[in-house]
Amino acid sequence: MSLPEAVRGALRRTLAERREEYLARLTDLVARDTRVLDHGVGGGREAAGQEYLEELLTRMGARVEREPLEEEAIREGMRLHGEGNPGHDLTDRWNLSALFPGGNGPSLLFDGHVDTMPPDGWTRDPLTPSVEGGRLYGLGACDMKGGLMAACMAVKLLKDTGIPLPGDVKILSVADEEGGGNGTLCALMRGHRAEGALVCEPTSGALTVAHMGFLFFRVTVSGVSLHSGEKWKGVNAIEKAVLLMEALRDLEHRWLLEHRRPLLPPPNINVGVIEGGTAGSTVPDRCSFTLCLHYLPGMDRDEVVREVEEALMRRSAGDAWLADHPPRWEITQEGRPFEMDRNHPFVEILRSAAADALGQEVPVVGSPAGNDARLLRNIGGMPTAILGPGPLENCHMPDEWLPVEEYLGCILAYATLILEWGGRTE
């Protein structure tokens, strides 16, 4: 369905009148320090943001609940669904669930994470948000407090305009997403569901219906240390690690030829961290490297892991030292791929609502970066898509910023979606 012109006009007028108020709510949230520590393993400070949202959403009339993250639920998610990242410090880390009761139309769930990565390399105070040249600067403005607050303000826009909700609207503000999605996993293990789900991650207003799966590996190699003047008597662990990295590069090249999927790039393996050695004059006796592997829908996760192990062991078998001292490896974080039928009614209605609100064609795309859409779709069984303000490339970058007009546009797009999806009678 398409909204009557009178309704569209009323929403736009209210948005214009309230834009500074809606922007202020976002800057207030950005000013809260909600960073994770060591990708969530060392804990997180999400409570500062959750407390702010709890007060805001309660004032808006939602039924709000705090839901602690629980190790038992994470391990049960691993057992049942192959999802979850256990062993994180969950002290004072909780999801916030806000339900806005509506009419009898289809229900809608907005999912957003309140946690951010720690700031690194910033030239300005990351927790003092500022608007310059149409951009809101601040930690988490793009990833993804902008999308999360846009969902909250979409409900407020409807209320401020005097338009009732046609169906129930639920907003999940989750913790520990940067740690691999434990927050949304715990919410799903508690039974949260709706008839449609939108992840508000930054997509620059594009509609994302697929993303890659990801696996983080840490590989450790041993050697024999001594003075480099007698290098031949030792074993250089860094050089042995390079052999293994070359083997993984060969595996990546083979995957480039074998695997394709519409809307997504080919699978890839990136070595992002290498640690080893103490001095140029010392043969290193240990080296470890950490990699992130992205794989496609249709690639079996266990087969991907097996191929990585085989590549490491096959190269080790051809080296005299590694054959007797094989590397150790472990998976430190992971998430499955996500894919949604582009022709599903939820996707079509979302695309129509976004195009109507933004006044432009909305492309349907895939994303190389994983997010909680996989959990909502694969575990929750809900029609799911991703659309939010801000460019993906701004995530995790110094001096992160969000286009203010994209934020406001998504408020209108989400409000339109609530009405069009909730008003669906088919």
* 173 SS3 class: strand
Q: How far is CA 347 from CA 65, 202, 350, in A?
A: 29, 17, 5
Distance CA 214, CA 200 (A): 20
Q: What pairing do the DSSP bridges indicate for beta strands 197-199 and 384-386?
A: parallel
* pTM for this model (two decimals): 0.91
Which DSSP state fits 185? H
Structure-block tokens of residue 418: 């609530």
Identify the pLDDT of residue 67: 98
Question: Strand pairing partners for 67?
Answer: 95
Q: What is the pLDDT of residue 426?
A: 66
pLDDT of residue 2: 79
> Cis ω on the peptide bond leading into residue 313 (within 30° of 0)?
no
d(CA 373, CA 188): 12
Report domain extents, the chain.
Answer: 5-211+338-422, 213-335
CATH code assigned to 213-335 = 3.30.70.360
Contact yes or no for 285/279 (Cβ under 8 A): no
Q: Alpha-carbon distance 100 to 418, whole Å? A: 11
> Catalytic amino acids?
115, 177
Tokens linked to 271: 């070595």
CA angle 58, 62, 64 (to 5 degrees): 70
Say how far apart CA 2 and CA 120 lie, in whole Å: 44
- Does CATH number 3.30.470.30 belong to domain 5-211+338-422? no
Query: What's the rounded Cα separation, in Å, for the pair 143 and 391?
Result: 9
Among the residues of 237-293, which ranges form H helices? 237-258
In whole angstroms, what is the distance from residue 174 CA to residue 185 CA? 9
Residue 369's pLDDT is 87
CB 113 within 8 A of CB 180: no
Residue recorded with tokens 């009898």: 104
- Residues 33 and 47: their CA atoms lie apart, in Å, by 9
Q: Determine the Cα–Cα distance for residues 239 and 315; give it in Å rounded to an integer.
A: 13
Dist. CA 292–CA 368, nearest whole Å: 12
Count the residues in the chain.
426
β-strand partners of 282: 227
Kindly list the distances between the CA atom of residue 295 and the CA atoms of 197, 207, 213, 264, 304, in Å, as whole numbers in the listed order.
23, 20, 5, 10, 8
DSSP reduced 3-state for 366: strand
Looking at the DSSP bridge assignments, the partners of residue 172 are: 97, 111
DSSP single-letter state for residue 172: E
61: phi then psi, degrees, rounded to nearest 5: 100, 10
Token pair of 177, please?
Answer: 């997403």
Alpha carbon 74 to chain centroid distance?
Answer: 17
Per-position pLDDT tens, the chain of length 426: 678 999 999 999 999 999 999 999 999 999 999 999 999 999 999 999 999 999 999 999 999 999 999 999 999 999 999 999 999 999 999 999 999 999 999 999 999 999 999 999 999 999 999 999 999 999 999 999 999 999 999 999 999 999 999 999 999 999 999 999 999 999 999 999 999 999 999 999 899 999 999 999 999 999 999 999 999 999 999 999 999 999 999 999 999 999 999 999 999 999 999 999 999 999 999 999 999 999 999 999 999 999 999 999 999 999 999 999 999 999 998 899 999 999 999 999 999 999 999 888 999 999 988 999 999 999 999 999 999 999 999 999 999 999 999 999 999 999 999 999 998 866
Classified as helix, coil or strand, 145 is: helix
The answer to whether 288 touches 218, Cβ cutoff 8 Å, is: yes
pLDDT the model gives residue 1 = 61
Count of C-beta atoms within a 10 Å radius of residue 320: 8
312 to 224, 237, 346: CA distances (angstroms): 20, 15, 43
